[in-house]
Amino acid sequence: MYTIDQNSKTPLHIQLYEALKNDIVQNLKVGEKLPSIRKLSSTYNLSKNTVESAFRQLYVEGFIESYPKSGYFVSDTNFKDFRTSHANKEAIETTQKSYKYDFFPARLPKDSFPLKLWKRIYTKVIDETLDLGGYPDGQGEYILREQIAEYLNNSRGANCIADQIIVTSGFGESMGLLAKMLKSTHDTFAMEDPGYHIVNQVFSAYGYEIEKIGVDENGLMIDALQKSKAKLVYITPSHQYPKGVSMPIANRLKLLEWAKDTDALILEDDYDGELTYYNRPIPSLQGLDKNDKVVYFGTFSKYLSPALRVSYMVVPQHLLGLYKTHFDSHFCKVSLDTQITLAHFMKEGHFDKHIRKIRTLHKKKHELLKKLLEEHLGETMKIEAQGAGLAIIITPAVAFDWEKFKILAEQEGIKLYFAKGVSGGSWEALRLGFGGFSEKELYEAVEILSKLWRKALLN
């Protein structure tokens, strides 16, 4: 006898289904006949519909078979080890260390995001006019692309239209898309050395041969590039990653000339382009180019929030056809509501204001970190890069035990970031991010850091 509770919250047909299934698994044999619908209906005081519904589910899941005019039978399968209990799962012990201070070079302060304003705009613009039942435009919503194009033309000296913008969920996705698009026409990829390891990874994964081009005080060494066979080069002209130098106008023009003469393509990563503290931002290379030889890469992560996951690229017009025919996935990875809110945030002028605000904020912290480093470390260190971005980069000016320093930092709970790990080269330096710290925290963090640094000095 099955237990069917007429007063239970569980529907009757589900109670019967569970009871029958249990019986099949535990007791019945393959081919055995089940009680008829009429029988079950009268025994348990159930409607015929209820019993049929339970049988239908058992049938669909394959537990029973039905033969016309004969009834229902247990299917031919081995249920012996069905529904035996699983071991309870426990989370894998992840020893995620928590640090006292984290010098991550690419974060913004928690409270710098314009939350109230964002929510006000969100509430206003996310409404019934939006089609949340469909997929967003594969290239990104037009209204957002218009705003990005306008911003780039006005603030970054670019020269583009909405049609050239592709919205992505991050720099890595942008690079991956481009690597895929150019795979059939390019096989060698030149990049700065030291340079951004993520880019190396992406292009290596797509099978490109990587040519590393040195970097001097003017950025990428163009002479070396000219000697290479690459017709595709990645650069960070505004603020070279990780060395921090800017490429002067003469070299920018030379680079564009090279691209024109050799029919090459320049991938301009406008890394930290807006975050300059001693001068106005340097206009983009894209805007200087008259021959459609530059692909521009930008992001909102450093200026607004990395948690929104919005980046973009500007593709020259001659690549648009290729993109639209073969590489438009039709599914932009950025959610529609984020795209629309951001578009209106920009349209109402808030983004420009916000950039000015955070530039001032970061400049102050940058100055403080610099001052503290000079006070504490003095002659023992050399500042390699400063004046832009979210980090100051230093190297020891005297004999120094890097290994000891790294171990001490881990022991003290200070999370540090080094150039070697992210630039793929042999150049070692300490990248001290200040973006996430309050001023008070910066004082404390640098004090601890300095003690460890001094312990790692040799003799």
Q: Does 373 bind a second copy (CB under 8 A)?
A: no
Q: Does 399 bind a second copy (CB under 8 A)?
A: no
CA-nearest of 404, 398, 405 to 448 is 405
The three-point CA angle 97-427-456 to 5° equals: 55
Question: Which listed residue (15, 41, 147, 164) binds a second copy by CB under 8 A?
Answer: 164
- The answer to whether the beta carbons of residues 268 and 235 sit under 8 Å apart is yes
Question: Which listed residue (89, 349, 379, 403) binds a second copy by CB under 8 A?
Answer: 89
Q: How far apart are CA 383 and CA 424, in angstroms?
A: 21
Q: How far apart are CA 251 and CA 164, in angstroms?
A: 26
DSSP 337: H
Q: How far apart are CA 48 and CA 303, in angstroms?
A: 65
Min CB(395)–a second copy separation in Å = 22
Q: How far apart are CA 146 and CA 154, in angstroms?
A: 12
Question: Which listed residue (6, 78, 184, 459) binds a second copy by CB under 8 A?
Answer: 78
- One character per residue 57-76, x = contact with a second copy (rule: CB under 8 A): x--xxxx-----------xx
Measured CA to CA in angstroms, residue 61 lies from 17, 169, 181, 238, 348 at distances of: 11, 40, 44, 61, 55
DSSP 282: P
Q: Does 434 bind a second copy (CB under 8 A)?
A: no
Q: Does 360 bind a second copy (CB under 8 A)?
A: no
Q: Which is nearer to a second copy, 250 or 398 (CB)?
A: 250
DSSP 128: T
Q: Amino acid letter at 164?
A: Q
Measured CA to CA in angstroms, residue 71 lies from 33, 58, 68, 74, 115 at distances of: 7, 13, 7, 10, 64
Q: Which is nearer to a second copy, 224 or 320 (CB)?
A: 320
Unique residue bearing structure tokens 């009834």: 71
Question: Which listed residue (4, 34, 40, 108) binds a second copy by CB under 8 A?
Answer: 108
Q: Which is nearer to a second copy, 107 or 186 (CB)?
A: 107
Q: Which is nearer to a second copy, 250 or 399 (CB)?
A: 250
Q: Which is nearer to a second copy, 337 or 428 (CB)?
A: 337
Q: Is 134 exposed, middle or buried (0-12, 13-18, 19+ CB in 10 A)?
A: exposed
Min CB(140)–a second copy separation in Å = 12
Neighbours of 325 (CB within 10 A): 8
Q: Which is nearer to a second copy, 21 or 231 (CB)?
A: 21
Min CB(128)–a second copy separation in Å = 7
Tell me the two tokens of residue 26. 């535990």
Coil, helix or strand for 181?
helix
Q: Does 23 bind a second copy (CB under 8 A)?
A: no
Could you give the angle at which helices 350-377 and 336-347 cross, rounded to 10 degrees? Answer: 90
Min CB(267)–a second copy separation in Å = 20
Q: Does 321 bind a second copy (CB under 8 A)?
A: yes
Q: Does 359 bind a second copy (CB under 8 A)?
A: no
Tell me the two tokens of residue 325. 């025919």
Residues 293-312 that bind a second copy (CB under 8 A): 301, 305-310
DSSP 323: I
Q: Which is nearer to a second copy, 184 or 426 (CB)?
A: 184
Q: How far apart are CA 4 and CA 10, in angstroms?
A: 10
Q: Does 138 bind a second copy (CB under 8 A)?
A: no
- Compute CA 63 distance to the chain's CA centroid, rounded to the nearest angstrom: 45
Q: Which is nearer to a second copy, 311 or 450 (CB)?
A: 311
- The answer to whether the beta carbons of residues 381 and 396 sit under 8 Å apart is yes
Q: Does 376 bind a second copy (CB under 8 A)?
A: no
Min CB(367)–a second copy separation in Å = 16
Q: Which is nearer to a second copy, 161 or 397 (CB)?
A: 161
Q: Which is nearer to a second copy, 62 or 349 (CB)?
A: 62
Residues 165-184 that bind a second copy (CB under 8 A): 169-170, 172-173
Question: Which listed residue (26, 48, 66, 132) binds a second copy by CB under 8 A?
Answer: 132
Number of residues that bind a second copy (CB under 8 A): 94
DSSP 164: G
Q: Which is nearer to a second copy, 76 or 459 (CB)?
A: 76
Q: Can you state the percent helix, strand and coil of the chain, rounding each to 5?
A: 45, 15, 40
Residues 264-283 that bind a second copy (CB under 8 A): 276, 278-280, 282-283
CA-nearest of 113, 115, 137, 133 to 339 is 137
- The answer to whether the beta carbons of residues 284 and 296 sit under 8 Å apart is yes
Question: Which listed residue (251, 386, 423, 450) binds a second copy by CB under 8 A?
Answer: 251
The stretch near a second copy (CB under 8 A) out of 123-131, 265-273, 368-376, 411-419 is 123-131
Q: Does 217 bind a second copy (CB under 8 A)?
A: no
Min CB(200)–a second copy separation in Å = 15
Q: Does 100 bind a second copy (CB under 8 A)?
A: no
DSSP 300: S
The stretch near a second copy (CB under 8 A) out of 89-97, 263-271, 416-424, 450-458 is 89-97
